[in-house]
Amino acid sequence: MLFFIHFVLPGMKARKKGVIVNLSSVAAVYPLPNYALYGATKAFVAFFSTALDRECRPYGIFVQTLFPGPVLTSRTRNQGKSVFLVQAIPYARAALSQIGLRRRTFGHWIHALMVSIAKPIPLWLQRRLLRPRSSTLRT
């Protein structure tokens, strides 16, 4: 990400226009058990994107951060069903329709709804609800 931005940013500055979309995650917003490193890297992307957006505004460059929630892909097929799980193509269409409109977006209304439902829940309770269930080790 950083290499690519370093490569394209001078041309965008010279033209005084451009759009950069950085992919973060809902995991950057809520600390999830067993996803500490993933969430931390996605929080970095969000923080970096906000700072980069402020630096690039005088040059007419729009920096957007995308915070997707669960999207049905080959990687998520084995996860349990969820009302918040969005299929890949509808998610991509919705997210692409928001490029240049919002600096921070969840990309799809389902994920925005998911976060708005979770937002009023205190973090201590979220942690308790998201705590991994203990599993029995088999030898």
Alpha-helix residue ranges (DSSP H) falling in 57-130:
88-96, 109-118, 123-130
Q: What is the pLDDT of residues 104-125, one digit of tens each?
A: 999 999 888 888 887 777 777 7
Q: CA–CA distance from 92 to each of 74, 86, 104, 130, 136 (Å)?
A: 15, 10, 16, 27, 38
- Which one is catalytic: 30, 38, 59, 91? 38
Please say if 38 is a catalytic residue: yes
Q: Delineate the domains of the chain, giving CATH numbers in brackets.
A: 2-129 (3.40.50.720)
Q: What is the pLDDT of residues 15-70, one digit of tens each?
A: 999 999 999 999 898 777 778 899 999 999 999 999 999 999 999 999 999 999 88
